[in-house]
Structure 1
Amino acid sequence: MQFTVHTLSRIMDGVSAMAISAKGISIETKSVKKLYTWQSQSQPPVILNGKITPKIQVFTADASFKVRIQTCNIELAQFELQKLWLSSHVNKLKQSILKLESLLEKRYLSHSLLSAAQRMTSELAQYWLTWSLDKRFEPHLGQTRFTLEEVHHWQQQDIDEFREAFIKKQLHDFEAYFDSVSAQPLTIAQRRACVVVDERQLLLAGAGTGKTSVMIAKVGYLLASKIAQSSQILMLAYGKDAADEMHQRLKYAQLDATCRTFHSLGTFILTEVEGRAPVLSNMSNSEQQKRQFIHETLVSLCQDQEFKTRFLTLLKSEFKLVKSDTEIDFASPSVSRAVRLFCELIGLYKQAASLGSMQHIEGQYESVLAVFRPVLTEYQLYLANEQSIDYDDMISRAIKYVKSGQFRSPWVHILVDEFQDISPVRAELVKVLLAQHPRSHLFAVGDDWQSIYRFSGADLTLTTHFAQHFGPSTVMQLDKTFRYGQDLLDLASDFVCQNPQQIVKQVRAQRVPDEPSVLITPEVSENSFTFVIKKIAGNSARNMSVMILARYHKQLPSKEALLLLNEQYTHLNISAMTFHAAKGKEADYTILTGLDSDSVPAKRQNDEIIDAFLPKMEAYPDAEERRLFYVALTRAKRQTYIMSPKKPSHFIAEISTQL
C-alpha cells in the first residue's frame, strides 16, 4: 500500500516520503528514514479527515504523530491498515486469551490468579480496547475481544459470580467423591471449603463441625482434580496424636500426603540439612530437670560477687526477699519464684530473639535480663556440650535453613490444623516455607473461639486478622456442628461472643435434643460428681463415655479414684482431664467440677516481663478464660453437667440466666 504525502507535510511536518508495507510504516525526512514496525504500534493507524487534506495518525508506545496525505478512499485505507496491524498482533491476543480462558476454566479464581488476569488484560487493553474494530474482522476476533473486554472491566459482583459458577461446577463434578470421602456425606459448606483453592485460605471451624473431615477431603480434592501431587502436600498438626489421626484417616481414604507436627517438621528439616537427626535435650520434656539446672546454675554463678549482687538486688525488688538480707538462701521461696520465671523465659526469649522482636523489651526489663542472660548462656553451653537442642532451637534453626535456601521445600500446599494456637515463630516457619514457591497455598483451619494457649505464645490475631499477616485471602466458615444440640450451641456461642473481638459465626446444630443439654447441679461435697455418674449409669443401658473436667489437675479425682469408678460402673468409660487437655476431645457426657469463684476464671497473673514477651493481652476481661470455659462446655455429645459450688464462678451465674 502506498500513500502519497501531501505537499503540506513537507512544509509543516518535515516529512518528505512515507511508505506502508508488511513490515510497518516508513517515514522519511530530509535527515533520517525511520521504520515504525507494526509490532511497535500500540493500535492500528487511523486516517482522519482534515480541513484541507486527510491525515494518518500513527500510535507508538510512547506517543503518536500525524502526517498529511493526499485524498484517498478512507474506508478502504482504514480497512487495509487494520489488516496489516492485525497480522502482527492477532496471534499474541488469541494465545493470551486462550491461556487466560484455560486458567480460569481449570482453577478457582484465587487472589493471585485474579491479579494475573487483571495484569494481562490491562496490558492487552492498551492495544485492543482503545479503537473500533472493522466489522469485517468480527467473525474472527469478536469473541476474543469480548472476553478481553469482559475480564478487563470486571467489577466485584462479576468476580463473585464467576467464582460462584466455578464452585457450582466443581460441586457437581465431584458430588460422588464428597458423598463418600467421609463416614457421612460432607455438608455444602464443607464441600465449598474443599473446592475453593486460594493462595491464602482460612476456614473457621467451630467445635464439632468436622474440620478433620474437611482437611482429609481437601487433600483428596487436590489430588483428584490434579491441582497437586501427594509429594507437594504437607499437613501440620500440633500434637502427635492429632498428626497420627490425620495419617490414619488419609490411609483409610486411600490418600497420600505428608503429616507432621511442627516439631517433627523441624526435626526433618534439620536432618536433611545437617545429615543427622538432632538430639533433643532431656530438659525439653522435663520441667523439673530444667528447673534443677537453672537452680544449680544460679548457685554456681553466684560465686562471682558481681553477679551475686545483681541477683540479690533482683530478689529484693521483684521476688519479695527481705530488704535487710545480705545473703541468698537458695532454698527460699524467692529463689524458687526466680527459677520458675527463668524457666518460662528461656523459650520466650529465644523465640523473640529469632524473630528480632527484642528491642521494646530489653531496655524496660534490664534488671531481670541482666541476671537472666548469664543463665541462658550456661543453658546453651550445656546443650552444646551435650550436642543437643531444645524445641525452640529446632524451630529457629529450621527457619534459618529455609530462609538461606539450605533446605528446599517440596510442599506447595500447606494445611495447618488448630490454627488458632499458632505462635509468631511457628507462623514464621510456615511463611518462609510458602515463600520458596512463587504460587504456594496455605489452608489454615481453626476456631478463634477455642484459642486458649496465649501462655505458650499463641497469637489470636494471626487468626482474627489473617489477611494482615498472610496477605489477600479467602475466609470461610463451617456452619453445622454434629456433636451437640442446638440449645448447647446457642448457650455456648452467646457466652463466648460476649467478647467483641471474637468472630461471630452462623452455626446450626444437626439435631434438636429431646432433653436439656446443660444441667446445673449443686456441688454439696468434694466428690459430688459421683452422684452424677451414678445417675448417668442408671439411665444408660449401653456403653457410654463420661469425662470429668476441671480447671486444674488438683481438682480432679486421683488415678486410684478413677480406677474404682470404672470398676464400679463397667458400662461407662470414665476419664478425667483439665479444660486445656480436653480440647479436641469429646464424650457422651461431661461433668464440669471445681468451678468456685477463686478457680474459674483463673486469678493467677503472669509476671510483667512474661506478658511483655507474649502476644498483647485482649482488653476484654478474662477473654482467654472465657474461651477455655467454652471449650469445656462443648465437649459433650449428650449432656453437660455443671457442678455449682457454694461460691460459684460468675460464669455459672451468667449461663444460668439462659437456661
Structure 2
Amino acid sequence: MSSENSVSFIPHSWFGHLYQRDVNAIKLTQEGITFIPGHGQFLARFRHNNKQLIIGQLSWQQLDHPPLFSASLLGNLLSFNAAGTHYQIPFLSYFAKSHFKQQVELLWALSHQKSLCDLILRVEKATSSRYLRQSLVDKMRARIEREYFRWFPWSEGAELPANIRTALTQLHDFYHWNKADIERLRESYIQSQLLAFAGFFDHVESNPLTNKQRRACIIDDDSNLLLAGAGTGKTSVMVGRAGYLVNSGQAQANDILLLAYGKKAAMEMDLRIKHKLGSDDIKASTFHSLGLKIIADVEGVKPSLSAWVNDEPAKDKWVHDRLEVLIKNESYRKQLFDYFSRYYYVEKSPFEFSTQGEYFEYLNDNDIRSLKGERVKSFGELHIANWLFTNGIEYQYEAKYEFDVSTVDFRQYQADFYLPEYEVYIEYYGIDEANNTVPFIDQAAYLTSMEWKRQLHHQRQTNCIELFYYQHKKSQLINKLEQALTVFKVNYSPLPDEAILATLYELGRVTELAKLFSQLIGLYKAACIDEAGLEKVFANATQTRKAFELLQPILQQYQQYLSAHGDIDFEDMIAKALAYLQSGQYVSPWQYIMVDEFQDISEPRARLVRALRDSRTKKGNSDTSLFCVGDDWQAIYRFSGADVRLTTQFKRYFGHASETYLDLTFRFNNRIGEVASAFVSKNPHQLNKDIHSLVQVAKPAVSILRRGTNEGATKDEPSNNALEQVLNALSVRVTQAVDKLKAKPTVYLLARFWFQLPDKDMLRQLTAKYPMFVIECLSFHASKGKEADYVVIMGMTQGIHGFPSKKITPPLLDAFLPKAENFEFAEERRLFYVALTRAKHRVYVIADMTNVSPFIVELIQQDYAVEQQEFSTSLVQSLFEQINCVRCTTGILKPRVGKFTSFFSCSHFPLCDHKEAGCDECGSPMTRKRFVGFKVCLNDSCAHMAPICNVCGSEMSLRESARGAFWGCKNYRGNNVPSCSNTINTAKISPQQVQ
C-alpha cells in the first residue's frame, strides 16, 4: 500500500465460493472500501435492520471506526458503522484478519488524520488564545470524547505513522483532563495576559491596579462574580476590564454592555471611562434605559413613559385620590374599617416573648394603637378598644378606679377599660385556660392580683366584666364581650362612617395605606404572579389577603390608566423587554455584559440579565460573557426588591461561574476594618471574606461617646451637646495632624433616618463653628458608595425609630419582597457596616446608653476593638447594664425629675411604668446585680446597700418600731390584698456578692 493507487482484495472463504463466482469479496483502496457483486444466487451483502441489500462503495471518511474482523466457522465477518448504519460482510477468507487488519486500520487512520490533527490544533489554540470558559470546556470535552472513541482502544496496538501517534498522545491527554488541568491552562493564559498588558494595567487608573484587580479584568468565564469589599476598587476593575477587552482585541466598544444601578451611577461610570480610557464609545446604561431600547428595537417606536416614572409623589397622590374615591363606596368602606380594626397590625402573642421588656419593645416599636390613638398593652385590649369605639360605646382606657385605694407604696388601681355611661369596668387578663401566665410574669402574684381585684369590686359593689387571653386566641373575645354587655343593657350605637373616617384621617392611617399601595403596585407587577401564585401567597395569611383585596381595584385602575394613555412604567420596561428576549424577538448584540452593584439587583432584573446572556446561545452564538460586581456585605435594599441571594447563591441562578475577590481596601484603616468586618460577618448566610487594609494603625479607630441627651456640661466636657463634643475632639486631632493634610478633612454625619441629623440651619451653624471641616449630613443608605475622612454616627437608639429597626414590615409588602434571611437584623447589620466603612481615618459613635441600640451593646460587651475611654461619661452611662428595669428586664432605668423629687423610670415607659427612687444617701442609681438579695448604690464612693424582699422581690425600706429599726417590704398593705408583711432584722443582713 505504498502507492496511492495500490489496491488490495479480500477473497471469499471456501463457503463463500459455493455461492460466489468471483474469488474476491472486497476491494480496499486509498479512497475506501468496495463490495464486489457476484453473478450467482449469493451477492456481497450487508446486514441492516435484518434486511439484505446490495451495496457498492463507501469511503473511509464515511466509516466511524476502522472495520472489525471476527472469525467464524464459515469464514471471517467484517463489521463497521457508517452514517449511523451498521454493516456486516460475511464469508471472508479465514486469513482476512491476519492479512488485512493492519492495512484496513492504516487506510482508515490516514483518511482521518486530518480531522484528528485539526481538532488538536483547535484545542491548542483555544487553550492558549483566550480564557477557557466552562461552556467551551464542555464543548471541547464532547468533541474530544467523540474523537477519542473513534481511535481508542484499537489504535493502542496499531502500527501508525509517528505524526498520528503524536496526535493520539495529545488526544489521550485531552480526554483525561481533570479540574486541575483546566485550572492550569487558565492560569497559564492569565499569566500571559498579565505580562502582555502590564503597561495598560499600570496606567489605566491613577494608581497601578493590584494583582487581584488585574486578574478580575482578565478572567472571562461564561458567568463571573467579582466580590468586592468596601473600598477595594471595584469601579477600577469595571473600567480596567472594559479597556482590557478592547485593547486585547477581544471586543469592540459596541460589544460591551455596562449596566449601572441608577441614572446617577451610570453617568458617573461614563465620566470615569471617558477620563480613564479616553473614549466615549463605551456607555453605561440603566436597566430601564436598556428596557426602553429593547422595546423600541422590537416595536419600531420608542414607548411613551408614564409621567410617574420620574415623579413618585405624583403617583402617590394618584393612588391616594383613587383610595379616597373607593372609600365612598359603602362595601369598600366596610372592608377598609374591618382591615384597620382587625388586620392593620402584625399580631404576636405575648407567649412568643421571653421577657416582658421584649414584648413591650415590640408593641412600642410597631406603635400598636387603638383607633382612638391609645397605646395599648396587648392585642386583646386592641380588639376590645376598637370594637367599643366603632360601636359608639364611650370608654376610658386605664381609667382610675372610682374609689381611692392607693397607699404610700401602691398607686391607684386602674382597670383596663371603664364605661362611664354604664359604670362598668372591663379587665382583660393574660392567662390561658389553665390559668397560666406568660413566662415572664410571676403567675402566683398575677393570680393573687386578679383575686384582689375581684374582692375589691365585690366589696365596693362595682361591676366588672372579665375577659381572657384564651378567648382572644380562639376568636371568641368579642362574642364574650357582647354577651357580657347585654347583662348591663349596654346600647350599641355604631359610629357613622364619617366619624370613623375622620379618626382614620386624623391618625394618618389612610395616607399611610395609600403610600403602601403606591409602593406595592410596582412590587406586585415586578413579581409577575398569576392567580395560583397569589393563592400560595395568601395561604394561611388572612391579613395579607384582606390587604390585597383593598389594593386590587386600585391595581386594575392603575393599569387601565396606563393603557388609556398609551404609557408604560418601570415594571413594564423590564417585563416587556424580558418577554421579547424570551420569545426570540430580540437577540442581544452584546458579547460582554457587565453589571455594577450586583448585590442591589432584584429578581426581575436578574431574569433580564440572564435572558440577555442566553438569547445569543439560542441563535447559535455562545460567546456571551456575564460579569457581575457586588458585595453581599453591602446589600441594603431589600425594601425596594433587591435580593441578596442572587449574590450569595449566584451559581444556583446563573449556572457555573468563576468567583474572584478583591480583599484589599484602600479606604479605611485596619482598625476600622476589624470592627466592621467582625460585626457584619456574624451572619452565617453571607459569603466569607477576609478584607485587608492598605493603611495600618496601632490604636482603635472606632470611638464611642456614651452620653444622654439631658446631661449637662462639666469641667471636663464643656459642651452639653454630644455632637459638638465629638467635633471638638476631632478638631484637636485634625490640628495635631495639620501638616499631613492637603485639604480640609471631610466629616460625614450619618444616621438611620434623616430627621435624626442636624437640619440645614444647624448644619450651617456647625460649619461656621468648625471651619476646618467640610461637614455633610447623610442617611446610612445615602452614604453608600461615598467616603469621608471621618464619620460621626448618630441615632443609635431603640424604639420606633431605633436602629436596628424592629418595626415589622407590613405582611402585604413582605409577601412581594424577596424572602427575608433567617438571621435577626441581617440587613440592618449590613447597613451599620456600610456606615462604619465610609470613614478613612476614624469613626465616632454617639450613644445614649439608657436607650441604646443593641448594636452598641454588642460592640461594648463582645470585645470589639473599640475605644471607650476617649470621652468621660456619667455613672448611669458607664454602668447602664447594671440598672435594668426589674419588671420588664430589658428596659434601662433613666433619670427623671418629677414635681417634688428625682427618680428613675423604665425606658419602656409608658408600657412599663416601673419607677424607683435613687440611693437614699446620694441619689445615684442602684443595682441588684452585685449582691444577692440586695440593691447597692452604683456610686462607689457611697456604696449604700438596701435589702430586697425575698418573698415578693420588692424593695424594702428601713422602718422604726418599739423594738428598734427593721427592714419592711414596701408591698405591705396591712389587711388589704395583696400585701407582703415580710421583715428583716437589721442585725441579720449579710450580703453575698454575685459570682
Asked whether 1:612 is paired with 2:619, we answer: no
Asked whether 1:596 is paired with 2:797, we answer: yes
Corresponding residue for 1:649?
853
Cα distance in 1 for partners of 2:666, 2:523 equals: 38
Cα distance in 2 for partners of 1:517, 1:279 equals: 52
Cα distance in 1 for partners of 2:296, 2:160 equals: 63
Cα distance in 2 for partners of 1:3, 1:274 equals: 68
Shift in alpha-carbon separation, 1:387–1:34, aligned structure 2, 3 A = closer
Q: How far did residue 485 of structure 1 move?
A: 1.6
Which amino acid is 2:774 matched to? N
Cα distance in 2 for partners of 1:552, 1:13 equals: 100
Corresponding residue for 1:361?
537
Partner residue of 1:238 out of 261, 281, 296: 261
Corresponding residue for 2:559?
380
Q: Is the 8 A contact 2:632 2:648 kept in 1?
A: yes
Corresponding residue for 2:510?
335
Cα distance in 2 for partners of 1:392, 1:241 equals: 19
Which amino acid is 1:650 matched to? P
Q: Is the 8 A contact 1:362 1:369 kept in 2?
A: no
Cα distance in 2 for partners of 1:73, 1:375 equals: 87
Q: How far did residue 591 of structure 1 move?
A: 0.6
Q: How far did residue 66 of structure 1 move?
A: 7.0
Q: 1:511-530, aligned counterparts within 5 Å? A: 511-525=695-709, 527-530=721-724
Which amino acid is 1:539 matched to? R
Cα distance in 2 for partners of 1:507, 1:554 equals: 33
Asked whether 1:3 is paired with 2:10, we answer: yes
Q: 1:478-627, aligned counterparts within 5 Å? A: 478-525=662-709, 527-540=721-734, 541=738, 542=741, 543-598=744-799, 599-627=802-830
Shift in alpha-carbon separation, 1:565–1:270, aligned structure 2, 3 A = farther
Q: 1:189-200, aligned counterparts within 5 Å? A: 189-200=212-223
Q: For residues 348-372 of structure 1, what are the alpha-carbon distances to aligned partners after superposition, in whole Å with 9 as ceiling and x for unaligned?
A: 1111127895452256543322221
Q: Is the 8 A contact 1:351 1:396 kept in 2?
A: yes
Cα distance in 2 for partners of 1:73, 1:300 equals: 97
Asked whether 1:131 is paired with 2:154, we answer: yes
Corresponding residue for 1:429?
608
Shift in alpha-carbon separation, 1:290–1:523, aligned structure 2, 3 A = farther
Asked whether 1:254 is paired with 2:278, we answer: yes
Secondary structure of the 2:220 match is coil
Cα distance in 2 for partners of 1:354, 1:545 equals: 47
Q: For residues 84-134 of structure 1, what are the alpha-carbon distances to aligned partners after superposition, in whole Å with 9 as ceiling and x for unaligned?
A: 212432222222332222222222111111111011111111212231267
Cα distance in 1 for partners of 2:599, 2:106 equals: 60
Corresponding residue for 2:180?
157
Q: How far did residue 537 of structure 1 move?
A: 2.7
78-87 vs 246-255, greater mean Cα deviation: 78-87
Asked whether 1:207 is paired with 2:216, we answer: no
Shift in alpha-carbon separation, 1:457–1:78, aligned structure 2, 3 A = same
Cα distance in 2 for partners of 1:59, 1:156 equals: 34
Aligned residues: 659
Q: How far did residue 182 of structure 1 move?
A: 1.3
Cα distance in 2 for partners of 1:10, 1:32 equals: 20
Cα distance in 1 for partners of 2:23, 2:333 equals: 96
Asked whether 1:142 is paired with 2:165, we answer: yes
Partner residue of 1:658 out of 858, 864, 880: 864
Cα distance in 2 for partners of 1:545, 1:355 equals: 51
Q: How far did residue 259 of structure 1 move?
A: 0.4
Secondary structure of the 1:2 match is strand
Cα distance in 2 for partners of 1:366, 1:236 equals: 37
Shift in alpha-carbon separation, 1:368–1:596, aligned structure 2, 3 A = closer
Corresponding residue for 2:248?
225
TM-score, length basis structure 1: 0.92
Corresponding residue for 1:400?
579
Asked whether 1:110 is paired with 2:133, we answer: yes
Q: How far did residue 382 of structure 1 move?
A: 3.2
Q: For residues 489-541 of structure 1, what are the alpha-carbon distances to aligned partners after superposition, in whole Å with 9 as ceiling and x for unaligned?
A: 22211211111101101322112125432111223448412222233233322
Which amino acid is 1:563 matched to? R
Asked whether 1:78 is paired with 2:253, we answer: no
Cα distance in 2 for partners of 1:461, 1:175 equals: 36
Shift in alpha-carbon separation, 1:135–1:451, aligned structure 2, 3 A = same
Corresponding residue for 1:349?
524
Q: For residues 326-354 of structure 1, what are the alpha-carbon distances to aligned partners after superposition, in whole Å with 9 as ceiling and x for unaligned?
A: 51516243323322331221111111127
313-322 vs 146-155, greater mean Cα deviation: 313-322
Partner residue of 2:340 out of 304, 315, 325: 315
Cα distance in 2 for partners of 1:219, 1:97 equals: 32
Asked whether 1:44 is paired with 2:220, we answer: no
Q: 1:448-467, aligned counterparts within 5 Å? A: 448-467=632-651
Corresponding residue for 1:23?
32
362-371 vs 59-68, greater mean Cα deviation: 59-68
77-86 vs 354-363, greater mean Cα deviation: 354-363
Q: Is the 8 A contact 1:448 1:463 kept in 2?
A: yes
Cα distance in 1 for partners of 2:210, 2:21 equals: 74
Cα distance in 1 for partners of 2:20, 2:342 equals: 89
Partner residue of 1:33 out of 27, 48, 54: 54
Q: For residues 186-216 of structure 1, what are the alpha-carbon distances to aligned partners after superposition, in whole Å with 9 as ceiling and x for unaligned?
A: 1111111111101111111110110000111
Q: How far did residue 179 of structure 1 move?
A: 1.4
Q: Is the 8 A contact 1:58 1:66 kept in 2?
A: no
Corresponding residue for 1:639?
842
Cα distance in 2 for partners of 1:583, 1:190 equals: 21
Which amino acid is 2:521 matched to? I
Q: How far did residue 569 of structure 1 move?
A: 2.8
Secondary structure of the 1:42 match is coil
Secondary structure of the 1:146 match is helix
Q: Which has the higher helix share?
A: 1
TM-score, length basis structure 2: 0.62
Cα distance in 1 for partners of 2:21, 2:650 equals: 62
Which structure: larger Rg?
2
Bigger relative CO (Cα 8 Å, ≥ 6 apart): 1
Q: For residues 543-573 of structure 1, what are the alpha-carbon distances to aligned partners after superposition, in whole Å with 9 as ceiling and x for unaligned?
A: 1111011011111111121122223333321
Cα distance in 2 for partners of 1:272, 1:50 equals: 69
Q: Is the 8 A contact 1:201 1:473 kept in 2?
A: yes
Which amino acid is 2:571 matched to? D
Which amino acid is 1:479 matched to? D
Q: How far did residue 141 of structure 1 move?
A: 1.5
Corresponding residue for 1:121?
144
Which amino acid is 1:19 matched to? I
Q: Is the 8 A contact 1:42 1:126 kept in 2?
A: no
Cα distance in 2 for partners of 1:491, 1:235 equals: 34
Q: For residues 28-79 of structure 1, what are the alpha-carbon distances to aligned partners after superposition, in whole Å with 9 as ceiling and x for unaligned?
A: 5446432454233222235577899766554555657574543659676334
Q: Is the 8 A contact 1:204 1:446 kept in 2?
A: yes
77-86 vs 426-435, greater mean Cα deviation: 77-86
